[in-house]
Amino acid sequence: MQARLPNFVRYFFRRPTLVAIVSIWLGYATVAGFVIGVDPYDVYPWGQRVSIPKNFAPFEMIRVVRVAARDPQTELVLIGTSPTTIFRQADLAKAYPGYKSPWNVSYHGSAGTDRARTIDQFVQYSSAKRYLITLDYFYAKPSSEVRDSYPDFQYDETPLNDLRMVNSVAIKAAFRALRSGSPFPDAVRTENQENGFREGEKRRYQTSEKMRRLAGWIDQYRPTIATPSSLRCSQMPLLQELLTQTRALTKKGARVDILIPPYSLGLYYEWAGDPLLHRGGGDTLLMDQIAMRRCAVLGLAHTPGAHVYSMDLDFALASDLGNFRDPAHIESQTGLRRFVSMANYPELELTPENIDSYATQIRKAVQNYKLKNSALPFNSRRD
């Protein structure tokens, strides 16, 4: 005799779509509940207590900005983008020995708006005593962009979009957090990933072909490279926000050092020739950057505890592309040491008194630049 199925089974058997919907819903709810419950990025008051290794800046740093901001032990924070991801905790500790548990919160590909949101997390939650913030090129942009895949939903006030956190990366991170306490792959793997990325970039850029191309751009753009900028300070909304955030951090008693990343002198020609790199900066790129730096210096002139530093006037370093993996990323050990400890050198500080002289020297150096690359058997045709 055939066994009679329970009514609810027969009900669902005749309604496959309901079974599918309920299954998908339950499956998703389970996964979402798991990720949000474990909370691998420490967004909520509950969940797994995660420990983020501070000895390197992982690729997924964007996801743990709040963890870094809430860390009560951190006294020194470096906030930057690709030129500073190379620094380890030991580098910061060595450069600034008086501060406990320093943390490098740099991530690749910062585009502007995400930087402001990152700093906001520190303004809201951090009790660090000192901040090093890089004054990157994007602060001169009149409009702002967000880094691709920056997890806004983790840092905004509404919980309605938090389900967007549930993806394959977060699921893996939740399992790792349960297993090892850290949402990231082990340090060796992450470090290899970072090193591999840098090596790849260097290999792609440091070629005779790229140097020949740059030499051509130098010849082509030299007459227009110092075209005056029409940008006013009020037309740089990101910079204005940075100044406001800097003041807020100093009001909390912290010292804020704004570091201008050392760019090669060739960068301005490289970006003028390859508009994809500077997203349409055009002929005024150099002077826009100088204008932006001037606005930063003047804007923070009366903010106690805030300082702006630049090592761009070290032309021996900046003129030789052999010191860089590409024109925007310094790689030489001497240069990196000086970069990370820039705020220890009063002579590198930009002030309202020396900003004009600084601007003139940079402009002249770029205008008169002759391509040099000690790492390649190639030099400018004019050398």
Partner 1 sequence: MIFTDPFFLFVFLPLAALTFHLVGRRHGTNGALATLLVISILFYAPWGAWMTAILMLSVCVNFLCGGALVALDDERASMRKLLLAAGEIFNFGALIWFKYHLFAGLVADAEARDVAAWVVPAGISFYTFHQAAFLADAYAREPNVVLLLGKMKNVRDILTGFIRYSAFVIFFPQLVIGPITYVKEFLPQVASARFGRIFYVNVSIGFTLIAIGMFKKLVLADNLGIYSDSVFERASLRVALTPVESWVGIASYYLQLYFDFSGYSDMAIGLARIFGLRYPINFFSPFKAVGIIDYYRRWHMTLTRVISRFLFTPLSLAGTRLAARKRYGVMAVKILGLWLPLMINFEVIGLWHGAIWSFVVFGLIHGIWYVAETEVRSSKRWKKWRKTVPGVRRAIYGRIILLLFMPLCFALFRADSLETAVYLGQQLFAGAGAMTVSAELQQALKPLVAGFVVVYLLPNSIELLRNYRPGILTYQNPSYGPHWPVRWRPNWVWTAFFGAIFVVCIYYMYRQPPFLYQGF
Output b/e per residue, 108-147; b: 16+ Cβ within 10 A: eebbbbbbbbbbbbbbebbebbbbbbbbbbbbbbeebeeb
CB of 36 to partner 1, least distance (A): 12
CB of 189 to partner 1, least distance (A): 23
CB of 259 to partner 1, least distance (A): 29
CB of 161 to partner 1, least distance (A): 6
CB of 73 to partner 1, least distance (A): 32
Nearer to partner 1, 13 or 46 (CB): 13
Nearer to partner 1, 27 or 253 (CB): 27
Nearer to partner 1, 37 or 181 (CB): 37
Output b/e per residue, 273-309; b: 16+ Cβ within 10 A: beeebbeebebbbbbbbbbbbbbbbbbbeeeebbbbb
For residues 42 and 50, the answer to whether their CB atoms sit within 8 Å is: yes
d(CA 251, CA 31): 42
The 3-class SS string of 93-150 reads HHHCCCCCCCEECCCCCCCEHHHHHHHHHHHHHCCCCEEEEECCHHHHCCCCECCCCC
For residues 185 and 152, the answer to whether their CB atoms sit within 8 Å is: no
Written as six digits, the tokens of 244 are: 């406001």
**What is residue 320's DSSP assignment?**
B
d(CA 23, CA 20): 5
CB of 28 to partner 1, least distance (A): 6
Nearer to partner 1, 159 or 253 (CB): 159
CB of 12 to partner 1, least distance (A): 11
Nearer to partner 1, 163 or 187 (CB): 163
Nearer to partner 1, 21 or 178 (CB): 21
CB of 359 to partner 1, least distance (A): 25
Nearer to partner 1, 35 or 86 (CB): 35
Interacting residues of 71 by C-beta distance below 8 A, sequence separation 6+: 101, 103, 126
Nearer to partner 1, 5 or 19 (CB): 19
| Interacting residue ranges for partner 1, rule: CB under 8 A | 15-21, 23-25, 27-29, 32, 142-143, 149, 160-168, 274-276, 279-280
- Sheet of 103-104: strands edge to edge? 103-104, 76-79, 130-134, 255-260, 306-310, 349-350
For residues 261 and 84, the answer to whether their CB atoms sit within 8 Å is: yes
